[in-house]
Each structure stands twice: as structure tokens, then as C-alpha cells.
Structure 1
């Protein structure tokens, strides 16, 4: 049976996602979210915007790998910028 190779980068990825989810949970407990409509065509909560942002960030990274194939740090910066924009104004 083949097992997944847990490299330090893979571990940091899942640790970061876990920390984001814990932070969002604390934020929700301290300040409950109010559904609102930003530039996204639907009414969203903070959790919705986080999900949409993370999903879009993954698509940015996959498109970058598939089409451009240059330094991945630029794609990561673009994905993080996208997540910030969606969280703030989405």
C-alpha cells in the first residue's frame, strides 16, 4: 500500500488551512457575521467568502502551473491577493 509523502511544505499547507479555520471560528464567536452583498452576485457571509476565495486561489495556482510554468511564488502572491479582495469586498 502506498502512503502520501508528508513533506514539510505539505504539512505547512494543512497547518495554515487549520489555523485559518480556527481564526475564523474565533472571529465568528467574537463578532457574529452579517450576510451582505459585495461584488459577488450572491449574498455571502465571511465563511462563504473564505470558501470562494480559497477555491479561486486553488484555481489560480492550477492555471498558473498548467499554462505559465514559471516561478510559483508569483502565483501564490496572486492567489493570496485574490483571497484578500474576496474577503474584503466580495
Structure 2
């Protein structure tokens, strides 16, 4: 069914984390309804808004890293491209910051 996509371990873990976040946010919303909050984002947001913005940001971080991985290899004189785990950690960090402070 999913043969068309390259399911590497980092990709599978990334999408599993997204699915777990959505389930967790649903349970959290049912137990404690959200309220609008003003953080450093230029608008009032709910938890769901911040999750959406954070997931978009995480996806962009991953895409940017994939796009510049070859350049990083060249600039740093590495034998192979930097590990995709670096972008996974960076993207989850960006998501955590947006969820907490956004």
C-alpha cells in the first residue's frame, strides 16, 4: 500500500510522532477545553492553532535541511551528508517552542 514512499526510520518516526500528537491533543481538548492565548505569535491562538503552525514550521525545517544537506557536506568536508536525525531533533525543538511560547 505504501510502497510508493521511501519509509526510512526517521520518516516513520516523524509521522508516528505527528499521529501521537494529534491523538494526545484530542484527548487533552476533551479533558480541558482550550482558551485563546497571546504569546509571541502576532495573534491570539489556541493549542490546536499552535500545533498546526508548529507542524508547518517543523516540516519547513526538515525540507530546508534536506535542501542544504549537500552544501553542508561540501562546506564541512564531510564524507557523507549529515544525518537526517539532526533535522528531526531541530524540527521537534521548533515545534516545542511554538507550542510552549507561541
TM-score normalized by the length of structure 2: 0.75
Show the counterpart of 1:16: 17
Which of structures 1 and 2 has the larger relative contact order (alpha carbons within 8 angstroms, sep 6+)? 2
Q: Deviations over 1:34-73 (max 9, x none)?
A: 1111000111000000000010000001001101342211
* TM-score (norm. length: structure 1): 0.84
Whole-angstrom distance in 2 between the partners of 1:15 and 1:39? 28
5+ long unaligned stretches in structure 2: 71-81
State the structure with more CA Rg: 2
Q: Which one is further off, 53-62 or 9-18?
A: 9-18
User: Which residue is equivalent to 2:44?
Assistant: 43
Q: CA deviation at 1:74?
A: 1.2
In the alignment of these two chains, the number of paired residues is 88
Q: Distance in 2 between matches of 1:78 and 1:25?
A: 25
Distance of 2:8 and 2:85 partners within structure 1 = 17
Unaligned stretches of 5+ in structure 1? none
